[in-house]
Amino acid sequence: MTPVIAVQLLGGFQLHVDDEHVPVPPSSQRLLAHLAVQEAPLARTAIASALWPGTTPRRAAACLRSALWRLVRPPNVLVNANQGMLSIAQDVDVDLAAVRRFAAEMAGATRPRLSPALPLTLLTTDLLPGWTDDWLIPEREWFRQLCLRVLEMLSERFRTDGDHFHAHETAVAAVRGDPLRESAHRRLIELHLADGNPAAALRQYASYRTRLRDELGLTPSPEIQKLVQPVLAARD
């Protein structure tokens, strides 16, 4: 029977084979993570230079060979090697890939058939927290922005379906992910107003306005001000 292999990148690196945790040496973790994040086949030379910057090409190539050799499973189970190119094996399940697929479904015409809780589990978790590799920095920021956008789309999808509980939950998750993201605050304010809670909408707006002023010296956009203007006018 073919083993079920899963690589976890969100919240920290883990390798599971048939639901059992398998220890992986640090150098091999970095190799598997790099291949899983990039998805497409990569040249050995490009992988070596990305994972071992500051070393000679010869030394980096040797480190790459060692990382492959140290994999606790036969390399061809986890990694495909073909004409100087390496890629994560097709049968390996990667949690990051699941988020990417979900995001593509959200952006397309197909409505994802997932429970409301499942996306939040993955969309509110950092990509390989604590890792400081240079190659990972832009990937982590890209993933963060992807999650925020998907959370906002989910909130709107739930609102359209009349599920205001999960609409609020995902909007709040987006605000927590980036407290200065106006689109997330705007969506939450809209939900408060739709629920007939003008006081909550004003508190949300005031919190955002204060934080934006204190941290960036900016003021909210006219668009978000228009949302609360009728409430302010009624109060006066």
Range in 33-42, 102-111, 202-211 the model is least confident about: 102-111
CA 220 – CA 228 distance, rounded (Å): 11
The length of the chain in residues reads: 236
Q: Nearest-CA neighbor of 99 among 133, 149, 171?
A: 149
pTM as predicted: 0.89
pLDDT of 2: 77
CA 95, 100, 103, 108: dihedral to nearest 10 degrees?
Answer: -130
pLDDT of 74: 63
pLDDT of 120: 85
Task: Assess contact for 88 and 94: CB atoms under 8 A.
Answer: yes
Q: Where are the domains of the chain?
A: 5-93, 101-235
Q: What is the DSSP letter of 128?
A: S
CATH of domain 101-235: 1.25.40.10
Portion of the chain with pLDDT greater than 70, in percent: 92
- Name the fold adopted by 5-93: Arc Repressor Mutant, subunit A (1.10.10)
**pLDDT confidence band for 109 (50 / 70 / 90):** low
CA 63 – CA 52 distance, rounded (Å): 8
In degrees and rounded to multiples of 5, residue 143 shows phi and psi of -65, -40
* Chain segment 143-191, per-residue pLDDT in tens: 999 999 999 999 998 999 899 999 999 999 999 999 999 999 999 999 9
Detail the DSSP E strand segments found in the chain.
5-8, 14-17, 20-21, 42-43, 79-82, 85-88, 93-94
- Has residue 113 got a pLDDT over 60? no
pLDDT of 116: 55
For the segment 202-216, the average pLDDT, to the nearest whole number, is: 97
* Chain segment 46-95, per-residue pLDDT in tens: 999 999 999 999 999 999 999 999 886 665 689 999 999 999 999 999 99
